[in-house]
Amino acid sequence: MIHKCKRLLVTTGLVLALGLTAAACGSSAGGSGTQVDQAGLQAAKDYIAQNTRNPTSIGMPELPARPPARKKFIMLQVSPMAIAQRVANGMKAASGALDWDFTTINAGGTPAEAVRAFEAALAQNPDVICPCGTASSTVFKDQIAEAKRRGITVVQNVVADGPIDGVLANVAGAPQQELYGKLVAAEFIVGSAGTGKAAVFNLNSFPILEAFTKAFEAAVKQWCPACSVDYNNQQLSDVGTKTPANVVAYLQRHPDVKWTVFGNGDLALGVSTALKTSGGRPARRRGSPRPLRH
């Protein structure tokens, strides 16, 4: 029997960790006593192979001409998510390459705060407004209509909705998050040999992250009847503050759970330190998407 202590998977901002406290270290155990579904286990392996091949292109054609310079681009940035700042940094660099003016407006963590941020962006009359990681765009219905009336382009980033009138594109929407959820589920199933128990920590107040959770759950149900999943909803204000302690407390109460899944990579902030302080070995984050054994 193979004994495990930790494993961590990072897949485009999604983190999957195995065996987290010293008390939890031990041999693999089945989730429900159900016999392993060998066909499902193989399907999970095939899905990983299919989705971890190196791409041969970015999937988009080259621009026929350089866009006009001096455009004004405003991103509505969710706070305090660290991933939002990384996205902002990338957008700022891309805007600089186009000789565009890029700024951000704090969109807070609630629909009301996001609407106020959108109104503030409209007041600046920019060329482009980009809500990033905010709640459903339906809360912006009036603001999007006003942007369309003024000829302001709206591009969504990491928002769960499908096509919305007045929105040019939705980048990294629900379909991509569903792919991540299914891929992380496949890694969990294969890594646990089709018998694992997982605790999921996520922010289900954000529909885009709930899409990940639902896809993870559906894939586990389809491929791994011997696996079990337990859900632990967190609040935005818990990220990096209460969530690390919540993870430690959960694993101490459930020493048979060897896997934790985070619907957003920022939810894992501070977890390794909290586990080390509680007596567990700290996870070392190296590489993506291959899981690493520690």
For residue range 219-256, what is the model confidence (pLDDT) as tens digits? 999 999 999 999 999 998 899 999 999 999 999 999 99
For residue range 87-125, what is the model confidence (pLDDT) as tens digits? 999 999 999 999 999 999 999 878 899 899 999 999 999
Among 9, 6, 57, 4, CA closest to 183: 9
User: What pLDDT does residue 12 have?
Assistant: 34
Strands 153-157 and 128-132: parallel
Enumerate residues 6+ apart whose C-beta is below 8 A from 243.
201, 234, 267, 269, 270, 271
Range(s) within the chain of domains with CATH label 3.40.50.2300: 3-52+176-293, 72-173
Determine which of 38-42, 76-80, 241-245, 266-270 has the lowest per-residue pLDDT on average: 76-80
The backbone torsions φ and ψ at residue 70, rounded to the nearest 5 degrees and listed phi first, read 65, 25
**Residue 262 pLDDT greater than 60, yes or no:** yes
Distance (Å, rounded) from C-alpha 108 to C-alpha 110?
6
Distance (Å, rounded) from C-alpha 208 to C-alpha 190?
25
- CA distance from start to end of the chain: 17
- CATH code for the domain defined by 72-173: 3.40.50.2300
Contact status, residue 279 vs residue 255, Cβ threshold 8 Å = no
Distance (Å, rounded) from C-alpha 104 to C-alpha 149?
22
Q: Please give the class, per CATH, of domain 3-52+176-293.
A: alpha beta
User: What pLDDT does residue 119 have?
Assistant: 97
Per 3-state DSSP, the chain is made up of helix, strand and coil in percentages (nearest 5) of 40, 20, 40
Contact status, residue 73 vs residue 101, Cβ threshold 8 Å = yes
User: What pLDDT does residue 158 have?
Assistant: 79
Distance (Å, rounded) from C-alpha 150 to C-alpha 9?
45
Enumerate residues 6+ apart whose C-beta is below 8 A from 163.
170
Contact status, residue 68 vs residue 38, Cβ threshold 8 Å = no
**Residue 273 pLDDT greater than 60, yes or no:** yes
Enumerate residues 6+ apart whose C-beta is below 8 A from 83.
13, 133, 264, 265, 266
User: What confidence tier does 290 reach under pLDDT thresholds 50, 70, 90?
Assistant: very low
H or E element, residue 178: helix 174-191
Q: Whose structure tokens read 């337990």? A: 230
**Residue 131 pLDDT greater than 80, yes or no:** yes
User: What confidence tier does 33 reach under pLDDT thresholds 50, 70, 90?
Assistant: low
Q: What is the largest CA-CA distance in the chain?
A: 66
User: What pLDDT does residue 280 have?
Assistant: 59
User: What pLDDT does residue 16 have?
Assistant: 45
User: What confidence tier does 24 reach under pLDDT thresholds 50, 70, 90?
Assistant: very low
**Residue 148 pLDDT greater than 90, yes or no:** yes
**Residue 272 pLDDT greater than 50, yes or no:** yes
> 160 or 154: which carries more pLDDT confidence?
154
What does the block give as tokens for 43? 């399907």
Percent of the chain residues topping a pLDDT of 70: 81
User: What confidence tier does 196 reach under pLDDT thresholds 50, 70, 90?
Assistant: very high
For residue range 58-95, what is the model confidence (pLDDT) as tens digits? 888 888 888 899 999 999 987 667 888 889 999 999 99
Single-letter amino acid code for the residue at 35? Q
H or E element, residue 26: strand 26-27
H or E element, residue 113: helix 111-123
